[in-house]
C-alpha cells in the first residue's frame, strides 16, 4: 500500500490527512488551532494599526509536529508506507528570515517589531504601496500589470515587501529572504528553498520567466531595486514537482522515513481544484470559508480587468489559471454573530441545541426574497475582486426600527453571493468560459447559503465530497511528486471527488433576485468606482488623518 499526506494551513488552524494514494480514501486526520490565532490588536503591548494581520511562524511548525503524527496514528498504517507530503497555505502569507530560514521575529532584536512577524494574507498595511505600484506600472505601461487585471491588491507579496522597506528599514536590511509561507514550510522540512511556480506568478509578480525589472523597482524606491536578486532568488519549480525529502530531524519528529518526498507548496484555494475533479478549462472552483477564492483554468490567455491574477500553470500544469476572490465571507458572518446579535438569540440557540449561525439561518430561510427590505455590500475587509481596494468597507442599506438580526444576517449572506456573481459575470464578459461551478470549504454546511449561490448565480452548484478538500488536493500533488501518478490530471481522476449538481437554481427565486442584484450593482459602482468616496473619508477620519 502507498499513502500520502496532505497538510492544509488555513487562517486559524491547520489539518493533516492521510490518504490512500490509489483510491483517495481519507484514512486519518489531525487538526490543531494556531495557539496565537491572528494577531490584530496588539503586539508586545503595543497597539497595531487596523489594517494589520500578523501570525506567529512557530504555530505552523507546532501544527506539523501535532497534526501529521496524529493523522498517521488515527489511520493505523505503517509509517513506512507514507510516500509523500504535500501542503498548501493561505496565499501571500509573507515572512522575513535570516539566511538559514529563521524568522526574524524569533530574534531578540526584532521580536517587538510587527514587520518581522508573518504578514497574513489579509494584512492590508501595504495599501499605499500597492497603489503606488499600480500607478507607476500604468505610467510605464508595464506589460505584466494586465496579468493582475490592471490593479494590484495590498495582499500580494510585493506591496508587503515594499511596506517593510519603507516602514521598518532595519527589518528589511536584516532579511536574507522574503518568502511566502507555502515555500518556507517545505524549506524547513527538506532543507531546500524552492519557490512554487504557481504562487510565484500570482503573488510574486513572476510572469513569462521574469520578475518586474530593476528599473521599475528602483523607480518605486531606490532601495528596492535589487529585492529579487538579493532576497528572492531561489529556483522556481512547477506544481507537482518534489522539493526534496524529509531531513533526519523532521523524519524523527514526524515518525516518518527520510525517503518521504515533499512536494512544492501550493495555494490553499488552487490546490482544491484537483480534489473536486475541476482541473479542466471552464470548471470554476470556489473555496468557501473565512474568505472565498474563485479559480478556473483556460486554454488561452484572456485579459480580465479586476482579476486577482492570471498565471500559466498556476492551477494545473499547461493551462492558464485565472484567480479572483472575496476578502471576507465567513468572516462577515462571524463578525455579525459576535457583535450584532442580542443575548435573547443566544439563549434561543442554546435552548434548541444549535449555533447562533444555524438559528439565524433557519429564521432567514423562512423569509420570501426581498422581505427584509435590506441590501448590503460585502466589503467588510475591503474588496479583492473586481475592485482590488482594501479601503472599501461594508454597509447595510434599508434598516428600520423593525429590522431584526435575521434580516441583517440574510442580507449579508445575499451580499456575498452578489459579490460572487459580479466575479463570475466579469470572467464571462472577458472571454473566460465558465462551464461548471464546484464549491468546497467550511461554508458547505450551510445548505441555505449554497442554494442562494445556485439561485442568484443561476447555475447548478456541485460540491466537494471531502470535508478537507484543500488537504486532499495537497495529498494529490504529493502523489504526483512521489511518482505515483504521471500528472495531476490522472491523480485527480483517481483520488478526487464531487457531488455533481447538488444544488440547482430555482428559476422563480432567480427572477426575484435579479432586480435586487441590479441595485447591488448600482451600489457597487457608486461606492467602489468613484461615485462617492465617503468610505475613504471615513477611514481617514478613523485614522486621525
Measured in degrees and rounded to the nearest 5, phi and psi for residue 298 equal -145, 155
Q: How far apart are CA 184 and CA 66, in angstroms?
A: 18
Each of the 545 residues of the chain gets a pLDDT tens digit; together they read 899 999 999 999 999 999 999 999 999 999 999 999 999 999 988 999 989 999 999 999 999 999 999 999 999 999 999 999 999 999 899 999 999 999 999 999 999 999 999 999 999 999 999 999 999 999 999 999 989 888 888 889 999 999 999 999 999 999 999 999 999 999 999 999 999 999 999 999 999 999 999 999 999 999 999 999 999 999 999 999 999 999 999 999 999 999 999 999 999 888 999 999 999 999 999 999 888 999 999 999 999 998 888 999 889 889 999 999 999 999 999 999 999 999 999 999 999 999 999 999 999 999 999 999 999 999 999 998 999 888 899 999 999 999 999 999 999 999 999 999 999 999 999 999 998 899 998 899 999 999 999 999 999 999 999 989 999 999 999 999 999 999 999 999 999 999 999 999 999 999 999 999 999 999 999 999 999 999 999 988 988 86
3-state class of 125 per DSSP? coil
Q: What is the DSSP letter of 39?
A: B
Q: How far apart are CA 285 and CA 296, in angstroms?
A: 6
Domains and CATH numbers, the chain: 3-267 (3.30.420.40), 277-464+506-545 (3.30.420.40)
Cα atoms in the Cβ-side hemisphere of radius 13 Å centred on 14: 31
What are the strands, taking DSSP E only, across 44-144?
A: 46-47, 54-55, 82-89, 94-97, 118-119
Contact criterion met (CB below 8 Å) for 14 and 85: no
Q: How far apart are CA 226 and CA 220, in angstroms?
A: 12
Q: By CB neighbour count within 10 A (0-12 exposed, 13-18 middle, 19+ buried), where does 113 fall? A: buried
Q: How far apart are CA 193 and CA 190, in angstroms?
A: 8
Q: How far apart are CA 449 and CA 413, in angstroms?
A: 7
What's the whole-model pTM score? Answer: 0.87
Omega of the bond leading into 386 within 30 degrees of 0 (cis): yes
Buried b (16+ CB within 10 A) or exposed e, 250-270: bbebbebeeebbbbbbbbbbb
In three state form, how does the secondary structure of 312-327 look? ECCCCCCCEEEEEEEC
Smallest Cα–Cα separation from 274: which of 475, 512, 528, 20? 475
- What would you report as the CA-atom Rg of the chain, rounded to the nearest whole angstrom? 22
Q: Read off the pLDDT of residues 284-322 as tens digits, 9 standing for 90 and up.
A: 999 998 889 999 999 999 999 988 889 998 898 899 999
Smallest Cα–Cα separation from 82: which of 32, 10, 27, 31? 27
Amino acid at each position: 500500500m502507498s499513502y500520502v499526506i496532505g497538510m492544509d494551513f488555513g487562517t486559524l488552524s491547520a489539518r493533516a490527512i492521510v490518504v490512500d494514494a490509489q483510491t483517495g480514501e481519507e484514512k486519518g486526520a489531525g487538526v490543531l488551532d494556531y495557539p496565537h490565532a491572528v494577531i490584530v490588536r496588539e503586539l508586545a503591548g503595543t497597539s497595531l494599526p487596523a489594517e494589520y494581520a500578523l501570525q506567529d511562524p512557530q504555530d505552523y511548525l507546532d501544527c506539523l509536529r501535532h497534526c501529521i503524527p496524529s493523522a498517521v496514528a488515527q489511520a493505523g498504517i505503517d509509517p513506512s508506507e507514507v510516500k509523500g507530503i504535500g501542503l498548501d497555505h493561505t496565499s501571500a502569507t509573507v515572512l522575513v528570515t535570516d539566511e538559514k530560514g529563521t524568522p526574524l521575529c524569533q530574534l531578540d532584536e526584532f521580536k517587538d517589531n510587527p514587520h518581522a512577524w508573518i504578514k497574513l494574507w489579509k494584512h492590508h498595511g501595504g495599501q499605499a504601496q500597492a497603489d503606488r505600484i499600480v500607478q507607476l506600472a500604468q505610467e510605464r505601461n508595464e506589460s505584466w500589470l494586465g496579468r493582475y487585471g490592471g490593479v494590484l491588491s495590498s495582499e500580494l507579496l510585493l506591496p508587503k515587501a515594499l511596506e517593510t522597506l519603507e516602514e521598518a528599514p532595519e527589518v528589511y536590511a536584516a532579511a536574507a529572504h522574503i518568502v511566502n509561507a507555502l515555500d518556507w514550510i517545505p524549506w524547513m522540512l527538506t532543507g531546500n528553498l524552492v519557490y512554487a511556480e504557481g504562487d510565484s506568478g500570482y503573488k510574486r509578480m513572476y510572469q513569462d520567466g521574469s520578475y518586474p525589472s530593476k528599473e521599475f523597482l528602483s523607480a518605486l524606491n531606490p532601495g528596492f531595486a535589487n529585492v529579487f536578486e538579493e532576497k528572492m532568488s531561489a529556483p522556481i519549480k512547477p506544481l507537482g514537482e518534489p522539493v526534496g525529502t524529509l531531513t533526519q530531524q523532521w523524519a524523527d519528529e514526524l515518525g516518518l522515513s527520510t525517503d518521504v518526498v515533499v512536494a512544492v507548496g501550493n495555494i490553499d484555494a488552487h490546490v482544491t481544484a484537483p480534489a473536486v475533479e475541476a482541473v479542466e478549462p471552464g470548471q470554476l472552483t470556489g473555496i468557501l470559508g473565512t474568505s472565498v477564492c474563485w479559480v478556473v483554468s483556460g486554454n488561452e490567455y484572456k485579459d480580465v480587468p479586476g482579476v486577482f491574477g492570471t498565471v500559466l500553470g498556476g492551477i494545473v500544469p499547461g493551462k492558464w489559471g485565472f484567480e479572483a476572490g472575496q476578502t471576507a465571507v465567513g468572516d462577515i458572518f462571524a463578525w455579525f454573530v459576535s457583535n450584532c446579535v442580542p443575548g435573547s438569540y443566544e439563549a434561543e440557540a442554546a435552548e434548541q441545541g444549535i449555533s447562533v449561525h444555524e438559528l439565524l439561518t433557519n429564521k432567514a430561510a423562512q423569509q420570501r426574497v426581498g422581505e427584509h427590505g435590506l441590501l448590503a455590500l460585502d466589503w467588510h475587509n475591503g474588496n479583492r475582486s473586481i475592485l482590488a481596494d482594501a479601503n472599501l468597507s461594508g454597509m447595510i442599506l434599508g434598516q428600520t426600527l423593525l429590522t431584526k438580526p435575521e434580516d441583517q444576517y440574510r442580507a449579508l449572506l445575499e451580499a456575498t453571493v452578489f459579490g460572487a456573481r459580479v466575479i463570475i459575470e466579469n470572467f464571462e464578459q472577458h472571454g473566460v468560459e465558465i462551464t461548471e461551478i464546484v464549491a468546497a470549504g467550511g461554508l458547505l454546511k450551510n445548505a441555505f447559503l449554497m442554494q442562494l449561490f445556485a439561485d442568484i448565480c443561476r447555475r447548478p452548484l456541485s460540491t466537494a465530497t471531502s470535508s478537507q478538500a484543500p488537504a486532499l488536493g495537497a495529498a494529490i500533488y504529493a502523489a504526483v511528486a512521489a511518482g505515483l501518478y504521471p500528472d495531476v490530471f490522472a491523480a485527480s481522476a483517481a483520488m478526487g471527488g464531487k457531488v455533481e449538481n447538488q444544488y440547482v437554481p430555482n428559476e422563480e427565486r432567480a427572477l426575484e433576485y435579479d432586480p435586487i442584484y441590479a441595485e447591488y450593482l448600482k451600489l457597487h459602482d457608486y461606492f467602489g468606482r468613484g461615485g462617492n468616496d465617503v468610505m475613504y473619508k471615513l477611514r481617514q477620519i478613523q485614522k486621525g488623518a
